[in-house]
Amino acid sequence: MTKRFSPSQIILLVIAAALAIVWIAPIAWAVATSLKPEAETTKLPLQWFGSELTLDAYRLVLATGGIVKWAINSTVTAVVVTFMTVLFSAMAAYGFARTQFRGQRVLLVVILAGIMVPPQVLIAPLFAEMVSFGLVDTWWSIILPQVAAPLIVYILYKFFQDVPLELEQAAFVDGAGRWRVFFTIVLPLSRPVLAAVSIFTFITTWNNFLWPFLVSTDPNTMTLPVGLANVVQGTFGLRYAQIMASVVLAGLPLLVVFVLFQRQIIRGVAHTGLAGQ
């Protein structure tokens, strides 16, 4: 049987299609420009495709630019930040969800209040702190300030509250300690939400530009967004095909991550209980 759409469904489909076109058009233009011969990128009137499709821009970017080095730096930074953020946030969230201590409610309120503080407000004091510790232009100056994630603590805190307490009590009866219960029972049960927050943290760290830009002037520690902003323009000038090729290469890893882990992202959002908020 042919499915019939109601007028409201048709309107929603049209709006969704229009939004999809608006979202994908700049990406499609960047890809198309990166495949044009350099001389045709500024040709008027503008055309989607050049006289031929060529990978020269990608070859030149990989051969003359530092994009491979920056990509490696971004990968190392994102992996380390993700690991440390998820581990420390999970430990803090479990402590708030399952233990009682003096000042617990006040400390939890302070952490949650951090969600409402714009990151830009903390730039000056964080930079001064990195200078006082002598960490500017090091990996730690890029990594450590990104590890604190009040939102991740809150998400995991809400999730741990819903973990059946009977499972932990049974482990305690068998002689397991708090740490063993956390690592062998709670964390395995939290795989969906841990996968989701890990992916979100990885993507956020990979895309972070402002903080690495401020504390990293050494090309050996520059992440991909910083390297593209500082070096690509000076190296390639107004060679739009090469600039677009660099942008496409920079965004490709995130696309791969999303395609490979989209199921984990959806499951994780559902398990957090925040999907409808």
| pLDDT > 90 in the chain, percent | 6
* 170 domain-assigned: yes
* 264 domain-assigned: yes
Q: What is the arithmetic mean of pLDDT over 216-224?
A: 81
Residues 6+ apart with CB under 8 A from 241: 33, 34, 35, 36, 37, 38, 41, 56, 57
* 179 domain-assigned: yes
Q: What is the mean pLDDT of the chain?
A: 80
Omega before residue 45 within 30° of 0, cis = yes
Parent domain of 118: 35-272
> What ranges in 40-164 are assigned the alpha helix state H?
56-64, 67-98, 104-113, 123-133, 139-147, 150-161
pLDDT for the residue 277: 39
CA atoms within 13 A on the CB side of 213: 13
pLDDT band at residue 238 using 50, 70 and 90 as cut-offs = low
CATH for 268: 1.10.3720.10
Which pTM does this prediction carry?
Answer: 0.78
| pLDDT > 70 in the chain, percent | 88
Is a pLDDT exceeding 50 seen at residue 23?
yes
Is a pLDDT exceeding 60 seen at residue 29?
yes
Q: What is the arithmetic mean of pLDDT over 174-186?
A: 84
* 19 domain-assigned: no
State the amino acid at position 184 in one-letter form. T
Q: Any idea how long the chain is?
A: 277
* 94 domain-assigned: yes
| Residues 32-75: tens digit of each pLDDT | 888 887 777 777 777 777 777 778 778 877 777 677 888 888 88
* 164 domain-assigned: yes
Q: Which sign, positive or negative, has the C-alpha torsion 169, 175, 179, 180?
A: negative
* 219 domain-assigned: yes
The total of structural domains in the chain comes to 1
* 258 domain-assigned: yes
Which tokens belong to 129? 């702190």
98 closest CA partner among 170, 152, 161, 154: 161
Q: Taking the chain, what is the end-to-end CA distance rounded to the nearest angstrom?
A: 36
- Residue 11's Cβ-count burial label (10 Å; 0-12, 13-18, 19+) is exposed
Is a pLDDT exceeding 60 seen at residue 274?
no
